[in-house]
Amino acid sequence: MLKSLTALGLALSCLAVGPARAEDAASAGQAAHAMLTRLCDDFGGRLTGSAQNAAALEALAAELRGLGYAPQVDAFEFPGWRRGDDRVELLAPFPRRLRVAALAYSPATPAFEADVTDLGGLEPERALGGTAGKVGLLSPSTLLTARQIGQRAAELGLRAVLFINREAGGQLLARTGSFIGETLPVPVFSLTQEEGQSLQRLLARGRPVRVRCATTSAPVPVRTANLVLRLPGRSPERVIVGAHFDSWDLGQGALDNGLGVAQLYALARLLRGADLARTVELVWFNGEEQGLWGSRHAAAGLGDAPVVAMINLDMVGVPIAVNALGDADLEAALGRWHARRARPLPQGVQNVNWFGSDHTPYQLAGVRAVTFNAPIPRESVRYYHDRADTIDKLPEPIVVDSTRTIAEVLQALVEDAALTPRRRSAEATEKLFTTFGLEPRMRAIGYWPFAARVP
């Protein structure tokens, strides 16, 4: 046990640190930050299906082989989408190319010209007429999912939608238009807040606004892979730690989710030569941004493997709490760990399920999952999904400090004998999502695997 503790290198002051220590969390975190810097600058954004994504995944595998590991490439296919040239030009009141990025699953669309009409936030009570053949300008205040936006656009006869960004400063927001690989009926473009608001003001004054739109972006079948590193323990009981490898293409995906890529790599460094009570599986997922495709593939392949828990690392910045996502046994185990901890997390252990990252497919397979409540500083996270999500936004101490906490939680789950592998029944899983009010949104995006219930 002591060997595993020291190999985990948790830098807990109470631990004896012997000469056999492979590496501590600080140096592993620093090495991980340096690795991520190379990955970001050498390959840019890692949109799943792009050549950069494939080359960056191979570079990560090479880094792991350099540590003496033999990571496995677990290939899979999914209905993906590739970025082409997204063009929206203002024709009236004056010519200007607007800054846009199509949402994933926008269809390839030859150039057309149309007048622009203001949709507000597509509120149900808003009366809209004469929209057929036009381009809709959509406020960031909309409550609709991208899928619903596409459906409404088709009903209104719109030819495209310009979706104004919620962040100011000339930014765009790359995002998926479908969680289930469905092609949107018309292209939906993210548009900068400043340009969008100027168009809203023109329309409010009754001025004609006309645009030319075209995109060569298009849905395509994508063959990609997860990268899996299994570290056998004394027991086949498994603790899985996953982070999505892919990112959007506009920036470098440093925060989302190069951070998780680096944390997982730091764990690989820390666990070299560790005598583990349980088997640890590190998984770098692809296809998360388009719709959790890599974690869906991995969870589908679990069979009846004895899984204790899955830890998901998606933009884990400065941990203020660890979250058992609605599982009482896990909450107790995390509580036992937290009670032993010299420096408590500001918000301790939480137990609130949420939807929308790679833990979800595991939960739907009945597996317990853990996430962190760990904000990234505002001056960095504001660049989420845009061009400026670059490595300069990720200071090294964020990787180092978070790695320390993540490694502690992993160690606790690997060593807690009171927490035994268990899968929830389908009924209990459904309840886990309905209890926390997640059903309406999951239904709205078409990702609700349970039967419709009779009221």
Which range touches Zn ion (CB under 5 A), out of 154-162, 312-320, 436-444, 447-455? 312-320
Beta partners for residue 218, in sequence order: 82
Interacting span for Zn ion (CB under 5 A) from 94-102, 310-318, 419-427, 432-440: 310-318
Segment contacting Zn ion (CB under 5 A): 87-95, 123-131, 265-273, 313-321? 313-321
The answer to whether residues 261 and 268 touch, using CB atoms and an 8 Å cutoff, is no
CB 292 within 8 A of CB 360: yes
91 burial (CB, 10 Å; 0-12 / 13-18 / 19+) is middle
Neighbouring CB atoms inside 10 A of 346's CB total 10
Nearest CB to Zn ion, comparing residues 229 and 254: 254
Shortest distance in whole angstroms from residue 358 CB to Zn ion: 8
Q: How far is the CB of 22 from Zn ion (least distance, A)?
A: 29
> Which of these segments, 72-80, 261-269, 311-319, 345-353, binds Zn ion (CB under 5 A)?
311-319
Please say which residue, 237 or 386, places its beta carbon nearer to Zn ion.
Answer: 386
Q: How far is the CB of 260 from Zn ion (least distance, A)?
A: 7
Give least dist CB 285 to Zn ion, A: 10
Q: Does 389 bind Zn ion (CB under 5 A)?
A: no
Question: In whole angstroms, how close is the CB of 174 to Zn ion at the nearest point?
Answer: 11
Give the range of 38-46, 235-243, 306-314, 370-378 binding Zn ion by CB under 5 A. 306-314
The least distance separating Zn ion from the CB of residue 288, rounded to whole angstroms, comes to 6
Torsional sign, CA 277, 278, 283, 288 = negative
Identify whether the C-beta of residue 218 lies closer than 8 Å to the C-beta of residue 105.
no
In whole angstroms, how close is the CB of 244 to Zn ion at the nearest point? 5
Tokens of 437: 């009010």
Enter the tokens of residue 147: 């899928």
Question: Cβ(17)–Cβ(26) under 8 Å?
Answer: no
Contact string (CB under 5 A) for Zn ion, positions 201-240, x = contact:
----------------------------------------
Query: Where does this chain touch Zn ion (CB under 5 A) — which range of 30-38, 157-165, 307-315, 423-431?
Result: 307-315
Which class for 84: exposed (0-12), middle (13-18), buried (19 or more C-beta within 10 A)? middle
Number of other CB atoms surrounding residue 210 within 10 Å = 15
Rank residues 67 and 381 by Cβ distance to Zn ion and give the closer one: 381
Which is closer to Zn ion, CB of 288 or CB of 401?
288
Q: Tell me how far, at minimum, the Cβ of 272 lies from Zn ion, in Å.
A: 27
Which residue number, 381 or 426, has a Cβ lying nearer to Zn ion? 381
Shortest distance (Å) from residue 6 CB to Zn ion = 32
Total site size for Zn ion, rule CB under 5 A: 3
Residue (159 or 359) nearer to Zn ion, CB: 359
Q: d(Cα 340, Cα 437) in Å, to the nearest integer?
A: 33
Q: How far is CA 223 from CA 77, 168, 272, 281, 367, in A?
A: 4, 35, 31, 23, 26
451 half-sphere exposure, CB direction, 13 A CA radius:
5
How many C-beta atoms lie closer than 10 Å to residue 234's C-beta? 11
- Nearer residue to Zn ion within complex by CB, 219 or 294: 294
Q: Which CB atom, from 281 or from 358, has the smaller least distance to Zn ion?
A: 358
Minimal distance in Å, beta carbon 86 to Zn ion? 22
Q: Which of 226, 412, 253, 242 minimizes the C-alpha distance to 313?
A: 242
Measured from the CB atom, the residue of 256 and 327 that comes closer to Zn ion is 256
**Which residues from 71-90 bind Zn ion, rule CB under 5 A?**
none
| Footprint on residues 236-265 left by Zn ion (CB under 5 A) | 256-257
Nearest to 129 by CA among 150, 92, 111, 155: 155
The nearer residue to Zn ion, 256 or 389, going by C-beta atoms, is 256
Token duo for residue 194: 């400043």
Beta-sheet pairing, 96-98 with 307-312: unpaired
- Integer Cα distance of 345 and 349 in angstroms: 8
Which member of 24, 246, 314, 401 binds Zn ion (CB under 5 A)? 314
CB of 373 to Zn ion, least distance (A): 15
Cβ atoms within 10 Å of 221's Cβ, excluding its own: 10
Token output for 302: 């679990």
Tokens of 445: 């995006």
User: Distance (Å, rounded) from C-alpha 13 to C-alpha 33?
Assistant: 24
Which residues from 390-409 bind Zn ion, rule CB under 5 A?
Answer: none
Of 195 and 314, CB closest to Zn ion: 314
68 φψ region: left (φ > 0), alpha (ψ -120 to 50), beta (else) = left
| Of 277 and 438, CB closest to Zn ion | 438
| Rounded least distance, CB 246 to Zn ion, Å | 9
Q: Which residues bind Zn ion (CB under 5 A)?
A: 256-257, 314
